[in-house]
Amino acid sequence: MTKTRSPRKTPGASLAAVIDAGRLFHSRGWVPATAGNFSIRVDEKTLAVTTSGRHKGELTVDDFMRVDLQGRALDKNKRSSAETLLHCQLYRHAKDIGAVLHTHSPASTVLSRKHDSIRLEGYELLKIFEGIQTHEMAVEVPVFQNDQDIARMSRVVDAQMKTGRARHAYLIRGHGLYAWGRTVSEARHRVEALEFLFECELSESVLKATGDQS
């Protein structure tokens, strides 16, 4: 397993990559209905984020709009994702974050309703995250309470991240996964890896719960 290395893309190329990522996620059932939302950093002060109410598996370039790092709309006549502030929090938190992808799979939904945190350990795939060089290290994915007041939730997440939690990704209870990367490619690979690992953890939960000693 090797960390993703991709050349820097233009915003247009990045949006195309986000649209492709949405199609992949849709084929997996990870962006049902209008769930999920995606964004990229356009420049120091500007983000492009998916607009509200669009199916994330069927995006076009018109389904994005620009906002600033406080989430204020820079394009008229468009409404950004209801969860824009969660994206902004991440870009302000770490300057090297270039893309944020929020997916919504059955496995992440079920696990987030059962646990306060998901500890992933012993998986080769974990090497996709910074600071993880071996399969013997662990990645902790915290689960934050869902909240319709997104501004408030973004402050909770920010406070937690300042203490060192959610270094790599986080879950919102009953609401899905937030993952990110320096590029769309890196963010998308992390979503693939985490959704894969959540599926493994769900299978292992069933085997453990049934007392399987085989």
Q: Are strands 138-144 and 169-172 parallel, antiparallel or unpaired?
A: parallel
Q: Which is nearer to its own copies, 44 or 76 (CB)?
A: 76
Give SS3 for 188. helix
Is residue 109 involved in binding its own copies (CB under 8 A)? yes
Instruction: Out of 73, 74, 110, 150, name the contact with its own copies by CB under 8 A.
Output: 110
Query: Measured on CA atoms in the order 191, 194, 30, 46, is the torsion positive or negative?
Result: negative
Q: Which is nearer to its own copies, 110 or 161 (CB)?
A: 110
CB of 2 to its own copies, least distance (A): 4
Give SS3 for 141. strand
Report, in angstroms and rounded to the nearest whole number, the Rg of the chain calculated over CA atoms.
17
How far apart CA 70 and CA 108 sit, in angstroms, is 28
How far apart CA 126 and CA 139 sit, in angstroms, is 7
65-104 mask for its own copies (x: CB under 8 A)? ----------------xx---------------------x
How far apart CA 90 and CA 147 sit, in angstroms, is 17
* Interface positions, 138-197, toward its own copies (CB under 8 A): 146, 148, 172-176, 189-190, 192-193, 195-196
Residues 6 or more apart from 210 whose CB is under 8 A from it? none
CB of 67 to its own copies, least distance (A): 16
CB of 81 to its own copies, least distance (A): 8
Instruction: Out of 45, 92, 114, 162, name the contact with its own copies by CB under 8 A.
Output: 114
**Whose CA is closest to 69, among 85, 52, 50, 80?**
85
The residue with tokens 């002060």 is 45
Is residue 28 involved in binding its own copies (CB under 8 A)? yes
What value, to the nearest 5°, has the Cα angle with vertex 93 and ends 71 and 178? 75
Instruction: Out of 16, 23, 46, 52, name the contact with its own copies by CB under 8 A.
Output: 52
Is residue 122 involved in binding its own copies (CB under 8 A)? yes
What is the binding site for its own copies (CB under 8 A)? 1-5, 27-29, 32-35, 52-53, 55, 81-82, 104, 106-107, 109-110, 113-115, 122-125, 128, 133-135, 146, 148, 172-176, 189-190, 192-193, 195-196, 199-200, 202-214
